Amino acid sequence: MNSRLRETAEYMRGKTLVISGATRGIGKAILYKFAQNGVNVAFTYNKNEEEAKNIINDVESKYNIKAKAYPLNVLEPEQYIELFKQIDDDFNRVDFFISNAIIYGKSVAGGFAPFMRLKPKGLNNIYTATVLAFVVGSQEATKRMKEVGGGSIVTLSSTGNLVYMPNYAGHGSSKNAVETIVKYAAQELGEFGIRVNAVSGGPIDTDALKAFPDYEVVKATVEEESPLNRMGTPDDLAGAAFFLCDNTQSSWLTGQTIVIDGGTTFR
């Protein structure tokens, strides 16, 4: 192992990641990236308890770390308060918090729609799941990070706030809002050694994207328009999330959004 990798390994080993929505897609890829690097993981699921159990068994046996899963509904952000109390009982520290979970299906009705069919309730649900859940989760994480002298907070964002995507006004506007809150949080939490950033992805091949009615069109367009001629994968974002938490690599990076879009935004 070269000295840079050794430095990262030493920094990461024995720390704790809290991440929402890690049963699938990008969250799951991030969870594995941290687990492979010796980080204990406290993660949430919404419906897929069975998959959460499978992940725990897999990462604990492969990587010699501790993993635990908790139910969470990001439409009720204050659930984070009790959730973190449970995490206190199960883990001795919190170092990283990644707000990743996203809602879909009935709860985005009127939020994931063309402009003329947008409805306040659907838009509010997306705002709650994206922005308010980030705020409450980050506040609870911050209280714990202060006790260990610092940490890193990351939210997932998306390039649907930079380029037009059909039906995406609700998500795109909430992603803009969360990127702005990231900048404010970064200003106010820096004094505690806490950095706050966003990872913004272009279209990534996950269940969330497959739920788009025009999924096949989006996929074909990305493959054609990306200079790298392929869709993004969850692993493409996991590396950036890990980098942003690795103080040996990104210690002066805060209040930023890293865009990982396969070159699709500048078209």
Ligand X SMILES: NC(=O)c1ccc[n+]([C@@H]2O[C@H](COP(=O)([O-])OP(=O)(O)OC[C@H]3O[C@@H](n4cnc5c(N)ncnc54)[C@H](OP(=O)(O)O)[C@@H]3O)[C@@H](O)[C@H]2O)c1
Cite the DSSP H helix spans in 130-246.
Answer: 133-147, 169-189, 207-210, 215-225, 234-245
2 CB-contact burial (10 Å; exposed 0-12 / middle 13-18 / buried 19+): exposed
Q: Of 24, 27, 58, whose CA–CA distance to 199 is shortest? A: 27
Residue 152 or 158 with smaller CB distance to ligand X: 158
Beta bridge partners of 265: none
Cα–Cα distance, 158 to 153 (Å, whole number): 17
Q: How far is the CB of 175 from ligand X (least distance, A)?
A: 7
Residues serving a catalytic function are 168, 175
- Taking the least distance from each CB to ligand X, the nearer of 94 and 204 is 204
Kindly list the residues in this chain that would bind ligand X in the complex (CB under 6 A).
20-27, 45-48, 72-75, 100-103, 156, 158, 201, 203-204, 206-209
CB of 133 to ligand X, least distance (A): 8
User: In the complex with ligand X, which residue's Cβ is closer, 170 or 247?
Assistant: 170
Closest C-alpha among 43, 29, 6, 4 to residue 241: 29
Residue 85 CA to residue 78 CA, distance in Å, equals 12
- Is residue 122 a contact partner of residue 178, using CB atoms and an 8 Å limit? no
Q: 125, 68 in Cβ contact below 8 A?
A: no
Per DSSP, 204 falls in state B
CB-nearer residue toward ligand X: 71 or 149: 71
What residues contact residue 107 under an 8 Å CB cut-off, 6+ apart? 75, 122, 125, 129
**In this complex, which beta carbon is closest to ligand X, that of residue 73 or of residue 124?**
73
